[in-house]
Amino acid sequence: MSTFATENTQATPGSQAPAVSVRGLNKAYGDLEVLRGIDLTVHPGEVVCLIGPSGSGKSTLLRCLNLLEEPQSGDITVSGFDVTDPDIDVDAMRRNVGMVFQQFNLFPHLTVLENCTVSQVKVLKRSNAEAEQTAMTNLERVGLVEKAQQRPGQLSGGQQQRVAIARALSMNPDLMLFDEPTSALDPETVGDVLAIMRTLANEGMTMLVVTHEMSFARDVADRVVFMDGGVVVEEGPAREVIGSPKHERTRSFLSRVLNPTKVDTPE
């Protein structure tokens, strides 16, 4: 179990089943413990932001949810799938989960439209016409219909990330995972990507977001989870955690992030 106390986020009796339920999750690389007894619940329609220093286990947690990383122990349920069941149909589970990475992960030899249709055709078995219609709808949502026939190398980083979001949305997921989606972008394009994510949140998309964008976390997230050293240190309503954190480690982290030029001087 985590060495820090966390609030109870279990679904209330009679409520809808959680979109994500994590209990006692542990992940290590050799002797390095990256996740230590993580408990986390995300309810349908909820936006949860994971914040914390680099190396705290945020991205590893996200990758464990769709088995891009295999945990050593613990229980994970995502969209009704028992992720830690050895007999899980991984492909079926991943159809319900969209993931947007730091580095876009687009196919460079395919056009924007083809990037958004290839998985629809191969995984969902949609016709080419249906896949293209769905892709164009989502490219319109991210403001890139006019780029449909271009290749990723012809686009800016921000545009490529917006394509990656459109690609994920084209699979009609129940849950969207964002792993620091703006970390590789220049400051001028960060806002475009965050605006799309804000729109998705307003539309009721269930989202779990690893981010260093504190203003986005404060204004858009329902809850914020602060991680450090592979454990959940503090979690709660976004404005409370970011505006008046209870734990000293959270306060120290946010002070550095929100005031990066502040220099602590010895008394």
pLDDT of residue 260: 72
Backbone angles phi, psi at 184, to 5 degrees: -100, 10
Name the DSSP letter for residue 31.
T
The answer to whether 197 and 209 have CB atoms below 8 angstroms apart is yes
Instruction: Answer for the pair 38, 233: CB distance below 8 angstroms, yes or no.
Output: no
Spatial distance between the Cα atoms of 149 and 146, rounded to a whole number of angstroms: 8
Half-sphere CA count of 153, side-chain side, radius 13 A: 4
Residue 5: is its pLDDT beyond 80?
Answer: no
Strand, helix or coil at 232?
A: strand
Q: Quick one: pLDDT at residue 262?
A: 64
pLDDT tens digit sequence for 152-190? 999 999 999 999 999 999 999 999 999 999 998 988 899
Give the model's pLDDT for residue 259: 80
Please report the pLDDT score of residue 158 as a whole number.
Answer: 94
Rounded Cα–Cα distance for residues 180 and 51 (Å): 10
Structure-block tokens of residue 182: 């703006």
What distance in Å separates the CA atoms of residue 134 and residue 119, rounded to the nearest whole number? Answer: 12
- Whether the CB-CB separation of 141 and 196 falls below 8 Å is answered with yes
pLDDT of residue 130: 98
pLDDT in tens, 13-49: 345 789 999 999 999 999 999 999 999 999 999 999 9
Q: What is the DSSP string of 94-141?
A: HTTEEEE-TT----TTS-HHHHHHHHHHHTS---HHHHHHHHHHHHHH
Question: Is a pLDDT exceeding 90 seen at residue 194?
Answer: yes
- Checking if the pLDDT of 6 tops 50, the result is no
Phi, psi angles (nearest 5°) of residue 89: -85, 95
pLDDT at 253 (0 to 100): 95
Q: What is the pLDDT of residue 13?
A: 36
Position 191 scores a pLDDT of: 92
Cβ-proximal residues to 239 (8 Å cutoff; 6+ apart), any chain: 218
Q: pTM of the entire structure?
A: 0.89
Q: What is the spatial distance between Cα 84 and Cα 66, in angstroms, rounded to a whole number?
A: 10
